[in-house]
Amino acid sequence: MKQKIVIIGGGLAGSELAYQLAKAGFQITLYEMRPVKMTEAHETSYLGELLCSNSLKSESLDTAAGLLKKEMEMMDSLIIKVAKETRVPAGNALAVDREKFGKRITEILEGFDNISIIREEVQDIPDDRPCVVASGPLTSRVLSEKIKKLFGGGLFFYDAISPIVDAESIDYSKCFFKSRYGKGDDDYLNCPMTEEQFDRFYDALMKAEKVEFKEFEKEAIFEGCMPIEVMASRGKQTLLYGPMRPVGLEHPVTGEKYFAVVQLRKENREGTAYNIVGFQTKMRIGAQKEVFRLIPGLENAEFLRYGSIHRNTYVRSCDYLDSFFRYKNSLLFFAGQITGVEGYIESAATSLIISFFLKNYFADKKILPFPETTALGALSRYVSTPKKDYVPSNFHFGMLPPLTKKIRSKKDRKIALSKRALKDLEDYLVKNS
């Protein structure tokens, strides 16, 4: 009889896990409450729907995101595989057509005879084991309360979404196509600003009407997805060194340099929609129209989706989960963003770790933790190591142990860390599979 496994949540983590375990012959019951019950941020019933952005970040090995994706690819990640199938131009980044991505994930999982997808809200943690809770940061209120009791409380932060504009409404005579420093193809549409235009935009942004947080919520903003207006409140230079940084974006024909540049990235393969990169916001809709239309080229922009804000829940995993995301060494697991990892690929990566454990566990094999020199090992360690202040985190190179040999160049050092990680992961998989 095939081993049965229950998975709660059909987001990136739940979808990745269902795929990995179904391939290995397990009988999977996957619960996803959409479309019976929608969240405040989801728009479709697709499994693996992307919310905040359509980008899975850089593929370069001198970046943390590039290393993690490469490790995931070595483990035959569904998320990386489908992302590459549905990619849209984005320079060195792996960006996808959001609609095609979710549709393809859903098609693949529905194609497995040993995956049963049940569209209903789970209101309690089932007694069945093994069970993996991958309900995400937008877990329903009822289930959230049950999880909080299990973990002795819960934590949260606020996340924001960037607006999307209709490509036909953009004035291309005021913009130019180019990737920063000419890396990759000319995949980004750049809207340049003079100092005067930037000052006008900044003043309007600071005065714009915003959705205010309550007093106790004000500090609960994730640094990696900060609303543009919160960033601006820290000073003009925060924008000029952040999403509006003009460096490496001189005009491709005239060589002209600009005071500030706003970048737009294709939201789909057809190029009918563009995401305003780094402009996640909690401004009210009227204010978004007024402020974002001050960007050169967007004076008559039609918004296909306005920016918004939503609450993300996570738990103090560091007090309860081990390096395989097991709750107190039981066969109850937690996966994805609810564990306190932040980011699309990080969420899916947790499921690769869990699936690896379960496949070996039921094969009666000894299972050692992933090497600490790898991105997967670093995420495992971050979640399972006790700490006073536990906050959501992406994977970054600072999580890895230093090299034994000093390398002056920052880029070369990161590449060396990546090469070491990939070699150590390869050795680990050979010995433990």
Q: How many CA atoms lie within 13 A of 406 on its CB side?
A: 1
Is the pLDDT at 215 greater than 50, yes or no? Answer: no
Crossing angle for the helix pair 410-432 and 64-74, nearest 10 degrees? 20
Among 278, 311, 344, residue at a domain's last position: 311
Q: Do 207 and 98 share a structural domain? A: no
Cβ atoms of residues 72 and 79 within 8 Å: yes
Tokens of residue 419, six digits? 């090469």
DSSP string, 209-272: -B-PPPGGGTT-B-GGG--HHHHHTT-HHHHHTTTT--TT---TTT----SEEEEEEESSTT--
Give the count of alpha carbons within 13 A of 351, CB side only.
Answer: 35
Residues belonging to the chain: 433
Question: Would the pLDDT of 225 be above 80?
Answer: no
Does 365 share its domain with 255? no
User: Do residue 113 and residue 180 come from a single domain?
Assistant: no
Q: Residue 206's domain is classified under what CATH number?
A: 2.40.30.260
Instruction: Give 72-95 as a DSSP string.
Output: HHHTT-HHHHHHHHTEE--TTEEE
Could you tell me if 136 and 29 lie in one domain?
Answer: yes
For residue 304, the surrounding DSSP H or E stretch is: strand 303-305
Q: Which domain holds residue 47?
A: 4-154+315-432
Q: Are residues 410 and 270 in the same domain?
A: no
- Pair 95, 180 in one domain: no
Does the annotation flag 13 for ligand binding? yes
Please indicate if the annotation marks 286 as binding a ligand.
no
Residue 184 pLDDT > 90: no
Is the domain of 141 the same as that of 35?
yes
Residue 262 corresponds to which amino acid? V
12 annotated to a ligand binding site: yes
Tell whether 274 and 171 lie within a shared domain. yes
Q: What is the CATH number of the domain that holds 334?
A: 3.50.50.60
Residues 290, 215 within the same domain:
yes
Q: How many domains does the chain have?
A: 2
Is residue 140 within 8 A of residue 33, CB to CB? The reply is yes
More confident residue, 16 or 410: 16
CB 3 within 8 Å of CB 21: no
Same domain membership, residue 43 and residue 140: yes
- pTM, rounded to two decimals: 0.76
Comparing CA positions, the residue from 383, 378, 384, 368 lying closest to residue 427 is 368
Residue 207 class from Cβ within 10 Å (0-12 exposed, 13-18 middle, 19+ buried)?
A: exposed
Known binder of ligand: residue 235? Answer: no
Give yes or no: residues 245 and 171 share one domain. yes
Q: Which residues pair with 261 in a beta bridge?
A: 192
Answer yes or no: do 369 and 404 share one domain.
Answer: yes
Spatial strand order of the sheet with 332-334 comes to 115-118, 27-31, 4-8, 131-133, 332-334
- pLDDT tens across 297-345, in order? 999 999 988 887 777 789 999 999 999 999 999 999 999 999 999 889 9
What tens digit of pLDDT does each residue of 107-157 get?
999 999 999 999 999 999 999 999 999 999 889 989 999 999 999 888 777
Give the C-alpha separation, 141 to 144, whole Å: 5
